[in-house]
C-alpha cells in the first residue's frame, strides 16, 4: 500500500475566520453564466433537496433524481429527535466553539477541524431558514422556540418537532424544491436510479440513470454532479435505514475514481426496538431524545426473569449512571451501545432473547407529575394521580414514539419499560471530500451522509440533520463556485459522446448479466448472509482474526452471487427485484472494503471498536501517534483497494482520551 498524502484544501488562517474569509473570496459565477450551467443532483433528502433548491434559486439549471416515487420520501424523513444549532437560546453556555468542540470530541478526534467549525458556524442559519419556510418547530407558551438535550452534550441546543423533526425539515426542503420545480428551474426525475457516473477528460460530466418504471436507460449531462445519496447502513441487512437506502451511487463513483473515506466508521444506535424473529426486514429506532427522560437499566442479578415492574429499585443497575456520572444516560451513542452490549454479553440482558435492556420512564413520569400537581394546586395527590399527570407530559413530548413502540411490540411503554438494543443506524464513512465537498474526481461532489466529512468516528445525536442541511443550503452553493467559475466556457456536452455511450453499454450489460444467471437463490438470501457477517465481525466489536475471516467469506459470497442469484422478470419494466439485486451486488463489494478498513485501523475510536485495543475499563483506546488520519481508499480493481491518507491536525483542540465520566 502506498501512503500518498491527500490535501483537504482547508483555507489557511485562524479557525474562527476561515469560512467567513473563504466565503468572501471564493470565485463566483455571474448570473448570466449560471443560466448556462447544468447541475445534476442525485438524491432528494435533506442534502439533495436543500442543495437543489438553493442552486436553482441562484440561477443554475438543475436536474434532480430520486428512486422513490416522490422526493418527499427520502429517508431523512424518518429522523426523529432533532437538529442541533448553536443558538444559545437557553442561555446555558452554548456557542459556536462549544458545538465545534463537542462534535470533535464526540467523533473521538477523527474529524477535520476546519469542516466542523464551519458546520457549527452555519448551524444557526439553518434554524432561521427552516422557520422562515414554515417548519413547525416545538414552541414554548411565550411563542419562542423550545430546545432539548441530546447525547454527548451538556447544553440544550436541539430544536425539534415532536418526534418527527426529520419529516418537518425534509418537507421544508421539499417545498423549496417543488417551488423551483413549479418555476421550471429544477427538472425532477422521480423513480429514477443513478447507475453510473460519466467522466470525460478527468472530470465528472454526467450520469447514467434508469427509469425504474419503463426500465429505459437515460444519459444526462451536467457541468457538475452532486451525490446526496445517504448512507450505507443497509450493508448489514438489518438497520434502521429505509429498505431502499443503498450505496450504489457512491459505489459507482468510487469505482470511477472517487476515494472512499473511513468506510469502517459505523454508528450503532443504542436505543432501537430489539429483533423479534428471523422474518425481520428492518429495525426501528426509538429516538435518542427519549434518553432525556428515560433511564436505562438491567437487573442486578443475571437471568432475572421477573417482570420489570416487580424488580425493586435496589435490585436495578442503572449502568450508564453508574459508569458515567457526568453524562449519565446522555453519553454518546457509541459509548451507550457498547455498554448495553457489555451488560447483555455478561448475562444481564432482559426479554425473551436476553439481548435487550430497559428504557424506563416511570421515574420521570412521577417527577413531571409532581410538578404538574403543584402547578394545579393539588394538595397531597396520590401516586396514581401523579402518574396520570406525568403521563400526559411524557405523551406531549414523545407520544408518537410511544405509539410506534406499542404498535410494533404489542407492549404499552407507559405501563412497562421499553426494551431496547443497539442497531445499525448511520455511517460516518462515505466518499472522501475536500473542504469544498468535492470528491477526488473534479466536478463530482458528495453531500450529507454520503460524504465522510464532519463526524469523525462517531456522530452525535441531532447532528445528521444539521450536516445535511448545512451542506445543501449554506456550504456547497458557495464552494461549488471555485470549480464552476472555471467551467463557464464549457458548452453542454452531447450525450452521444463516446464516454456516455460506453457507460450506458456497461450498465446495460450488467443488468442483463444479473438477469441471465437464473440461479437458485434469491437476492435477500445473499443480503442476509452478508448482513450477518458484517454484524458479527464488523459490528460493535471487531478483531483481526474475525475481519480476516470475513473478507474471505464475503469474497466467496460475491462469487456465489454472480453465479447463483435468481432474478426474474426483465430489464424493460418496473422490476424491484432487479433494483435490489444491483444494490446488493454493490453492498457485497463495499462490505469487503469496510472489513479491509477496519482491519487496517489498529486502534479503537468512536464506532470502530477493535477488541485488541481497549483501556482497562473497556473504553476505546486510540492510537494518535499512528492513526490520526483519514483513510481514503482508492479502487484499483476487483478486491483491490489502495490506501491514501489525510493527516488530521488539531491546532485548536487539545487531543485527549475521551471521557464522559
Partner 1 sequence: MSEGTMSLTLKVWRQKNSTSKGEFKTYPVSGISSDMSFLEMFDVLNEELITKGEESIAFDHDCREGICGMCSMYINGRPHGPKNAITTCQLHMRSFKDGDTITVEPWRASAFPIVKDLAVNRSAFDRIIASGGYVSVNTGNAKDANDILIPKEDADEAFSAAACIGCGACVAACKNASAMLFVSAKVSQLALLPQGKVESQKRVENMVAQMDVEGFGACTNTGACSAECPKGISLEHIARLNREYFSAKLTSNNV
Return the bridge partners of 84, or none.
Answer: 158
Candidate residues 545, 573, 612, 623; the one interacting with partner 1 per rule CB under 8 A: 573
252 vs 593: CA distance, rounded Å: 14
Q: Out of 72, 333, 338, 542, which one is annotated catalytic?
A: 333
Closest contact distance (angstroms) between CB of 101 and partner 1 is: 23
Q: Is residue 161 close enough to count as binding partner 1 by CB under 8 A?
A: yes
Q: Is residue 53 close enough to count as binding partner 1 by CB under 8 A?
A: yes
In what helix (H) or strand (E) does residue 390 lie, and over which residues does it extend? helix 383-409
- Please, which residue, 242 or 444, has the CB nearer to partner 1? 242
- Please, which residue, 74 or 465, has the CB nearer to partner 1? 74
Residue 355: partners with Cβ closer than 8 Å, 6 or more residues away: 274, 275, 344, 349, 421
Q: Is residue 70 close enough to count as binding partner 1 by CB under 8 A?
A: yes
First-last CA distance in the chain: 39
Please identify which residue in the block is written with the cell numbers 454526467: 206
Residues 509-528 that bind partner 1 (CB under 8 A): 522, 524
Closest contact distance (angstroms) between CB of 50 and partner 1 is: 7
Closest contact distance (angstroms) between CB of 566 and partner 1 is: 6
Q: Which stretch binds partner 1 (CB under 8 A): 220-228, 323-331, 564-572, 638-646?
A: 564-572
Q: Is residue 73 close enough to count as binding partner 1 by CB under 8 A?
A: yes
For 44-68, b/e burial (b = at least 16 CB within 10 A) is bbbbbbbbbbbbbbbbbbbbbbbbb
Candidate residues 13, 20, 213, 611; the one interacting with partner 1 per rule CB under 8 A: 213
- Please, which residue, 450 or 551, has the CB nearer to partner 1? 450
Q: Is residue 71 close enough to count as binding partner 1 by CB under 8 A?
A: yes
Residues 131-150 that bind partner 1 (CB under 8 A): 131-145
Residues 407-426 that bind partner 1 (CB under 8 A): 407-408, 410
- Considering Cα of 529, then 534, then 535, then 536, what sign does the dihedral take? positive
Q: Which stretch binds partner 1 (CB under 8 A): 332-340, 491-499, 539-547, 575-583?
A: 575-583
- Give yes or no: 658 in active site: no
C-beta atoms surrounding 350 within 10 Å: 26
Residues 217-256 that bind partner 1 (CB under 8 A): 242-244
Closest contact distance (angstroms) between CB of 392 and partner 1 is: 14
Q: Is residue 382 close enough to count as binding partner 1 by CB under 8 A?
A: no
Closest contact distance (angstroms) between CB of 198 and partner 1 is: 27
Closest contact distance (angstroms) between CB of 91 and partner 1 is: 12
Residues 184-203 that bind partner 1 (CB under 8 A): 188, 190-191
| Helix axes 165-183 and 113-133, enclosed angle (nearest 10) | 70
Task: Give burial (CB, 10 Å; 0-12/13-18/19+) of 478.
Answer: middle
- Minimal CA–CA distance to 308: which of 159, 196, 418, 435? 418
**Which string of x and - marks every residue 582-601 that binds partner 1 (by CB under 8 A)?**
--------------------
Closest contact distance (angstroms) between CB of 214 and partner 1 is: 9
Q: Is residue 89 close enough to count as binding partner 1 by CB under 8 A?
A: yes
Q: Which stretch binds partner 1 (CB under 8 A): 109-117, 174-182, 228-236, 450-458?
A: 174-182
Q: Is residue 25 close enough to count as binding partner 1 by CB under 8 A?
A: no
Mark out the alpha helices in 91-210 (DSSP H runs).
96-106, 113-133, 165-183
C-beta pairs of 58-62 under 8 Å, 24+ apart in sequence: 58/34, 58/477, 59/31, 59/34, 59/35, 59/185, 60/34, 60/35, 60/185, 61/35, 61/36, 61/37, 61/185, 62/38, 62/180, 62/185, 62/186, 62/187
- Minimal CA–CA distance to 466: which of 96, 66, 9? 96
> Which triple of cell numbers denotes residue 400?
408518537
- Please, which residue, 129 or 199, has the CB nearer to partner 1? 129
Q: Which stretch binds partner 1 (CB under 8 A): 219-227, 488-496, 568-576, 636-644?
A: 568-576
> Which triple of cell numbers denotes residue 624?
494518535
Candidate residues 353, 482, 492, 600; the one interacting with partner 1 per rule CB under 8 A: 353
Residues 283-302 that bind partner 1 (CB under 8 A): 284-285
Return the bridge partners of 298, or none.
Answer: 317
**Which string of x and - marks every residue 391-410 that binds partner 1 (by CB under 8 A)?**
------------xx--xx-x
Residues annotated as part of the active site: 333
Amino acid at each position: 500500500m502506498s501512503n500518498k498524502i491527500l490535501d483537504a484544501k482547508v483555507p489557511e488562517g485562524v479557525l474562527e475566520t476561515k469560512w467567513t474569509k473563504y466565503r468572501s473570496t471564493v470565485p463566483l459565477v455571474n448570473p448570466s453564466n449560471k443560466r448556462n450551467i447544468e447541475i445534476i443532483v442525485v438524491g432528494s433528502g435533506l442534502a439533495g433537496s436543500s442543495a437543489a433548491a438553493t442552486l436553482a434559486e441562484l440561477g443554475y439549471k438543475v436536474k434532480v433524481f430520486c428512486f422513490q416515487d416522490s422526493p418527499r420520501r427520502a429517508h431523512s424523513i424518518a429522523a426523529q429527535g432533532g437538529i442541533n444549532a448553536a443558538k444559545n437560546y437557553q442561555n446555558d453556555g452554548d456557542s459556536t466553539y462549544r458545538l465545534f468542540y463537542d462534535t470533535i470530541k464526540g467523533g473521538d478526534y477523527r474529524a477535520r477541524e476546519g469542516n466542523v467549525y464551519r458546520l457549527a458556524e452555519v448551524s444557526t442559519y439553518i434554524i432561521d431558514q427552516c422557520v422562515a419556510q414554515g417548519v413547525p418547530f416545538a414552541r414554548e407558551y411565550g411563542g419562542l422556540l423550545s430546545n432539548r438535550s441530546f447525547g454527548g452534550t451538556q447544553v440544550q441546543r436541539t430544536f425539534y418537532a415532536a418526534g418527527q423533526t426529520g419529516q418537518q425539515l425534509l418537507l421544508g426542503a421539499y417545498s423549496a424544491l417543488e417551488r423551483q420545480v413549479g418555476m421550471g428551474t429544477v427538472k425532477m426525475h422521480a423513480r429514477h436510479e443513478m447507475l453510473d457516473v460519466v467522466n470525460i477528460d478527468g472530470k465528472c460530466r454526467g450520469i447514467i440513470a434508469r427509469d425504474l418504471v419503463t426500465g429505459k436507460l437515460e444519459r444526462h449531462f451536467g457541468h457538475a454532479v452532486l451525490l446526496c445519496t445517504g448512507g450505507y447502513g443497509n450493508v448489514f441487512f438489518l438497520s434502521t435505514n429505509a429498505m431502499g437506502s443503498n450505496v450504489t451511487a457512491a459505489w459507482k463513483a468510487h469505482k470511477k475514481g472517487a476515494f472512499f473515506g473511513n468506510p469502517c466508521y459505523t454508528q450503532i444506535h443504542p436505543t432501537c426496538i430489539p429483533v423479534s424473529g428471523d422474518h425481520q426486514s428492518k429495525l426501528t429506532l426509538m429516538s435518542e431524545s427519549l434518553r432525556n427522560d428515560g433511564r436505562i437499566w438491567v437487573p442486578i442479578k443475571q437471568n432475572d426473569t421477573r417482570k420489570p415492574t416487580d424488580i425493586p429499585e435496589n435490585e436495578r443497575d442503572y449502568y450508564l449512571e453508574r459508569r458515567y456520572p457526568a453524562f449519565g444516560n446522555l453519553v454518546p451513542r457509541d459509548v451507550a451501545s457498547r455498554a448495553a452490549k457489555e451488560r447483555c454479553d455478561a448475562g444481564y440482558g432482559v426479554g425473551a432473547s436476553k439481548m435487550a435492556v430497559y428504557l424506563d420512564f416511570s421515574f420521570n413520569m412521577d417527577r413531571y407529575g409532581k410538578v404538574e400537581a403543584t402547578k394545579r394546586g393539588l394538595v397531597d395527590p396520590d401516586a396514581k394521580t401523579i402518574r396520570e399527570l406525568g403521563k400526559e407530559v411524557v405523551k406531549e413530548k414523545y407520544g408518537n414514539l410511544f405509539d410506534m413502540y406499542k404498535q410494533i411490540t404489542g407492549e404499552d411503554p407507559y405501563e412497562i419499560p421499553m426494551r431496547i438494543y443497539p442497531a445499525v443506524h448511520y455511517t460516518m464513512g462515505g466518499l472522501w471530500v475536500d473542504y469544498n465537498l468535492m470528491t477526488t474526481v473534479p466536478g463530482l461532489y458528495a453531500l450529507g451522509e454520503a460524504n465522510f466529512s464532519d463526524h469523525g468516528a462517531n456522530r452525535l445525536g441531532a447532528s445528521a440533520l444539521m450536516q445535511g442541511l448545512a451542506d445543501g443550503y449554506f456550504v456547497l452553493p458557495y464552494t461549488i463556485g471555485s470549480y464552476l467559475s472555471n467551467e463557464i466556457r464549457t458548452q453542454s456536452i452531447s450525450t452521444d459522446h463516446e464516454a456516455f455511450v460506453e457507460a450506458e453499454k456497461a450498465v446495460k450489460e450488467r443488468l442483463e448479466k444479473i438477469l441471465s444467471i437464473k440461479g437458485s437463490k434469491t437476492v435477500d438470501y445473499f443480503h442476509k448472509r452478508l448482513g450477518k457477517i458484517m454484524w458479527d465481525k464488523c459490528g460493535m466489536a471487531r478483531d483481526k482474526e474475525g475481519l480476516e475471516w470475513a473478507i474471505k467469506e464475503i469474497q466467496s459470497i460475491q462469487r456465489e452471487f454472480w453465479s447463483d442469484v435468481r432474478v426474474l422478470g426483465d430489464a424493460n419494466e418496473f422490476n424491484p427485484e432487479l433494483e435490489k439485486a444491483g444494490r446488493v451486488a454493490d453492498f457485497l463489494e463495499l462490505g469487503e472494503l469496510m472489513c479491509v478498513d477496519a482491519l487496517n485501523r489498529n486502534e479503537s475510536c468512536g464506532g470502530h471498536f477493535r477488541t485488541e485495543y481497549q483501556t482497562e475499563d473497556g473504553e476505546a483506546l486510540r492510537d494518535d501517534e499512528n492513526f490520526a488520519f483519514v483513510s481514503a481508499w482508492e479502487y484499483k480493481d476487483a478486491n483491490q483497494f489502495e490506501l491514501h491518507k489525510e493527516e488530521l491536525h488539531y491546532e485548536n483542540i487539545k487531543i485527549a482520551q475521551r471521557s464522559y465520566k
